[in-house]
Structure 1
Amino acid sequence: MTDAFPHAGKRFEVDYGELVAINAYSSDGNTLNYEITSGPMAGVSGTVEYQWRRLGGETYAISWQEADGSTVVHVDDFQAGRSLSFFTTRQGQFFRLEGSLGQSPEL
Protein backbone atom coordinates (compact mmCIF):
# COMPACT_ATOMS: atom_id res chain seq x y z
CA MET A 1 0.00 0.00 0.00
CA THR A 2 1.55 3.29 -1.05
CA ASP A 3 -0.91 5.79 0.42
CA ALA A 4 -0.71 6.83 4.06
CA PHE A 5 -3.54 5.82 6.37
CA PRO A 6 -5.85 8.87 6.46
CA HIS A 7 -6.15 8.67 10.26
CA ALA A 8 -2.41 8.35 10.97
CA GLY A 9 -1.40 10.53 13.91
CA LYS A 10 -4.85 10.32 15.54
CA ARG A 11 -6.26 8.50 18.56
CA PHE A 12 -9.68 6.86 18.72
CA GLU A 13 -11.74 5.31 21.48
CA VAL A 14 -13.78 2.23 20.67
CA ASP A 15 -16.54 1.42 23.16
CA TYR A 16 -18.08 -2.03 22.84
CA GLY A 17 -19.81 -1.89 26.22
CA GLU A 18 -17.98 -4.80 27.85
CA LEU A 19 -14.64 -3.59 26.43
CA VAL A 20 -13.33 -0.06 25.85
CA ALA A 21 -9.99 0.64 24.17
CA ILE A 22 -7.87 3.45 22.80
CA ASN A 23 -6.25 2.93 19.39
CA ALA A 24 -3.54 5.47 18.55
CA TYR A 25 -2.29 5.35 14.96
CA SER A 26 1.33 6.53 14.63
CA SER A 27 1.98 9.53 12.43
CA ASP A 28 4.19 7.37 10.17
CA GLY A 29 1.13 5.21 9.40
CA ASN A 30 2.91 1.94 10.22
CA THR A 31 2.14 1.17 13.85
CA LEU A 32 -0.79 1.24 16.20
CA ASN A 33 -0.63 1.61 19.97
CA TYR A 34 -3.63 0.02 21.67
CA GLU A 35 -4.71 0.01 25.28
CA ILE A 36 -7.78 -1.68 26.73
CA THR A 37 -9.08 0.81 29.28
CA SER A 38 -12.06 -1.06 30.75
CA GLY A 39 -13.52 -4.53 30.87
CA PRO A 40 -12.06 -7.89 31.85
CA MET A 41 -8.89 -7.28 29.81
CA ALA A 42 -8.28 -3.74 31.15
CA GLY A 43 -4.60 -2.86 31.22
CA VAL A 44 -3.63 -4.92 28.18
CA SER A 45 -1.65 -2.76 25.77
CA GLY A 46 0.89 -3.00 23.01
CA THR A 47 2.33 -1.62 19.82
CA VAL A 48 1.75 -3.51 16.59
CA GLU A 49 2.18 -3.11 12.86
CA TYR A 50 -1.18 -2.92 11.10
CA GLN A 51 -2.60 -3.06 7.62
CA TRP A 52 -5.65 -1.25 6.32
CA ARG A 53 -7.90 -1.14 3.30
CA ARG A 54 -10.56 1.42 2.42
CA LEU A 55 -13.88 -0.36 1.93
CA GLY A 56 -15.71 2.74 0.72
CA GLY A 57 -16.35 6.23 2.00
CA GLU A 58 -14.80 6.50 5.45
CA THR A 59 -15.07 2.78 6.24
CA TYR A 60 -11.84 0.83 6.65
CA ALA A 61 -10.81 -2.74 7.41
CA ILE A 62 -7.85 -2.60 9.82
CA SER A 63 -6.01 -5.73 10.95
CA TRP A 64 -3.09 -6.70 13.14
CA GLN A 65 -1.57 -9.52 15.14
CA GLU A 66 -0.58 -8.97 18.76
CA ALA A 67 2.63 -10.23 20.38
CA ASP A 68 0.83 -13.15 22.06
CA GLY A 69 -0.55 -14.35 18.72
CA SER A 70 -4.04 -12.87 19.10
CA THR A 71 -5.47 -11.57 15.83
CA VAL A 72 -7.71 -8.53 15.45
CA VAL A 73 -9.79 -7.19 12.55
CA HIS A 74 -11.75 -3.95 12.80
CA VAL A 75 -14.28 -2.63 10.33
CA ASP A 76 -14.38 1.01 11.37
CA ASP A 77 -16.72 3.61 9.89
CA PHE A 78 -15.06 6.86 10.95
CA GLN A 79 -17.84 9.01 9.51
CA ALA A 80 -20.72 7.18 11.24
CA GLY A 81 -18.70 6.59 14.43
CA ARG A 82 -19.25 2.80 14.44
CA SER A 83 -16.81 -0.06 14.91
CA LEU A 84 -17.06 -3.80 14.41
CA SER A 85 -14.28 -5.89 15.92
CA PHE A 86 -13.51 -9.54 15.32
CA PHE A 87 -10.68 -11.04 17.33
CA THR A 88 -9.27 -14.40 18.26
CA THR A 89 -7.26 -14.83 21.46
CA ARG A 90 -4.14 -16.97 21.65
CA GLN A 91 -6.31 -19.60 23.38
CA GLY A 92 -8.57 -19.74 20.33
CA GLN A 93 -11.56 -17.85 21.78
CA PHE A 94 -13.38 -15.87 19.08
CA PHE A 95 -15.18 -12.58 19.84
CA ARG A 96 -17.44 -10.33 17.76
CA LEU A 97 -18.08 -6.85 19.13
CA GLU A 98 -19.96 -3.80 17.89
CA GLY A 99 -19.92 -0.31 19.32
CA SER A 100 -19.06 3.34 18.99
CA LEU A 101 -15.93 4.92 17.58
CA GLY A 102 -14.84 8.46 18.34
CA GLN A 103 -11.70 10.53 18.10
CA SER A 104 -9.95 10.81 21.45
CA PRO A 105 -7.88 13.82 22.48
CA GLU A 106 -4.20 13.38 23.25
CA LEU A 107 -3.38 12.81 26.91
Structure 2
Amino acid sequence: MKNKLIGNRFIMDVGVLKTELYFETDESMVFTVIEGGSLTKKGHTEKVETTIAEIRPDVYMVAWKENSGATVTHVEDHENGIIYSNATLPDGSFYTMKGTIHPLSN
Protein backbone atom coordinates (compact mmCIF):
# COMPACT_ATOMS: atom_id res chain seq x y z
CA MET A 1 0.00 0.00 0.00
CA LYS A 2 1.72 3.18 -1.15
CA ASN A 3 0.81 6.18 0.98
CA LYS A 4 1.73 9.86 1.17
CA LEU A 5 4.27 9.30 3.97
CA ILE A 6 6.72 7.26 1.88
CA GLY A 7 9.93 9.05 0.92
CA ASN A 8 9.20 11.96 3.24
CA ARG A 9 10.76 13.28 6.46
CA PHE A 10 8.85 14.81 9.35
CA ILE A 11 9.71 16.47 12.67
CA MET A 12 7.71 15.17 15.62
CA ASP A 13 7.74 17.19 18.85
CA VAL A 14 5.85 15.91 21.90
CA GLY A 15 7.67 18.08 24.44
CA VAL A 16 9.68 15.37 26.21
CA LEU A 17 10.86 13.94 22.88
CA LYS A 18 11.68 15.45 19.49
CA THR A 19 12.50 13.18 16.55
CA GLU A 20 12.94 13.15 12.82
CA LEU A 21 10.89 10.44 11.11
CA TYR A 22 11.89 9.26 7.64
CA PHE A 23 9.38 6.93 6.02
CA GLU A 24 11.65 4.88 3.80
CA THR A 25 9.07 2.37 2.48
CA ASP A 26 5.56 1.15 3.29
CA GLU A 27 7.14 -1.17 5.84
CA SER A 28 10.16 0.71 7.21
CA MET A 29 10.98 3.98 8.89
CA VAL A 30 14.18 5.51 10.23
CA PHE A 31 13.88 7.71 13.30
CA THR A 32 16.55 10.00 14.69
CA VAL A 33 16.27 11.48 18.17
CA ILE A 34 16.88 15.24 18.13
CA GLU A 35 16.04 15.77 21.81
CA GLY A 36 15.39 12.76 24.03
CA GLY A 37 14.66 14.26 27.41
CA SER A 38 14.70 11.42 29.93
CA LEU A 39 13.32 8.90 27.41
CA THR A 40 16.33 8.24 25.16
CA LYS A 41 19.70 9.54 24.02
CA LYS A 42 20.04 12.47 21.66
CA GLY A 43 21.31 11.31 18.27
CA HIS A 44 19.98 7.75 18.57
CA THR A 45 19.03 6.50 15.09
CA GLU A 46 17.22 3.28 14.31
CA LYS A 47 15.53 1.66 11.34
CA VAL A 48 12.29 -0.11 12.33
CA GLU A 49 9.70 -2.24 10.58
CA THR A 50 6.39 -0.42 10.57
CA THR A 51 2.73 -1.17 10.14
CA ILE A 52 0.94 1.80 8.59
CA ALA A 53 -2.86 2.12 8.35
CA GLU A 54 -4.55 5.10 6.71
CA ILE A 55 -7.46 6.13 8.94
CA ARG A 56 -8.66 8.79 6.51
CA PRO A 57 -6.83 11.04 4.04
CA ASP A 58 -3.77 12.53 5.80
CA VAL A 59 -4.36 10.61 9.06
CA TYR A 60 -2.30 7.49 9.71
CA MET A 61 -1.79 4.99 12.50
CA VAL A 62 1.85 3.89 12.55
CA ALA A 63 3.18 1.15 14.86
CA TRP A 64 6.58 -0.47 15.42
CA LYS A 65 8.83 -2.31 17.86
CA GLU A 66 12.34 -1.02 18.57
CA ASN A 67 15.52 -3.05 19.12
CA SER A 68 15.27 -2.24 22.84
CA GLY A 69 11.86 -3.92 23.01
CA ALA A 70 9.98 -0.62 23.26
CA THR A 71 6.71 -0.55 21.33
CA VAL A 72 5.31 2.63 19.80
CA THR A 73 1.99 3.53 18.21
CA HIS A 74 1.30 6.92 16.62
CA VAL A 75 -1.83 8.50 15.28
CA GLU A 76 -0.44 11.11 12.90
CA ASP A 77 -2.85 13.81 11.71
CA HIS A 78 -0.86 15.44 8.93
CA GLU A 79 -3.75 17.67 7.89
CA ASN A 80 -3.77 19.43 11.26
CA GLY A 81 -0.12 18.82 12.27
CA ILE A 82 -1.04 16.85 15.42
CA ILE A 83 0.50 13.61 16.65
CA TYR A 84 -0.64 11.27 19.41
CA SER A 85 2.09 8.87 20.52
CA ASN A 86 1.86 5.92 22.90
CA ALA A 87 5.02 4.10 23.94
CA THR A 88 5.70 1.17 26.24
CA LEU A 89 9.35 0.94 27.30
CA PRO A 90 11.16 -2.32 28.14
CA ASP A 91 10.86 -1.58 31.88
CA GLY A 92 7.05 -1.56 31.49
CA SER A 93 6.58 2.19 31.83
CA PHE A 94 3.89 3.59 29.54
CA TYR A 95 3.81 7.08 28.02
CA THR A 96 0.96 8.87 26.27
CA MET A 97 2.06 12.02 24.48
CA LYS A 98 0.52 14.63 22.22
CA GLY A 99 2.39 17.14 20.11
CA THR A 100 3.07 18.39 16.63
CA ILE A 101 4.23 16.81 13.38
CA HIS A 102 5.38 18.78 10.36
CA PRO A 103 7.18 18.02 7.11
CA LEU A 104 10.91 18.69 7.30
CA SER A 105 11.77 21.71 5.19
CA ASN A 106 14.40 21.11 2.54
Q: TM-score, normalised by structure 1?
A: 0.89
Structure 1 residue 61: Cα displacement: 0.5
Question: RMSD of the alignment, in Å?
Answer: 1.2
What CA distance in whole angstroms lies between the structure 1 residues aligned with 2:29 and 2:2? 13
Q: TM-score, normalised by structure 2?
A: 0.90
Structure 1 residue 17: Cα displacement: 1.2
Counterpart in the other structure of 1:61: 61
Task: Report which stretch shifted further, 40-49 or 80-89.
Answer: 40-49
**Gaps in structure 2 of 5+ consecutive residues:** none
Paired letter, 2:18: V
Task: Give aligned pairs, total.
Answer: 103
Q: What SS is found at the alignment partner of 1:32?
A: strand
What CA distance in whole angstroms lies between the structure 1 residues aligned with 2:78 and 2:86? 17
- How high is the sequence identity, in percent, across the aligned residues? 24
What CA distance in whole angstroms lies between the structure 1 residues aligned with 2:43 and 2:5? 24
What CA distance in whole angstroms lies between the structure 1 residues aligned with 2:92 and 2:44? 17
What CA distance in whole angstroms lies between the structure 2 residues aligned with 1:59 and 1:29? 15
Structure 1 stretches of 4+ with a deviation exceeding 4 A read none
Structure 1 residue 43: Cα displacement: 2.5
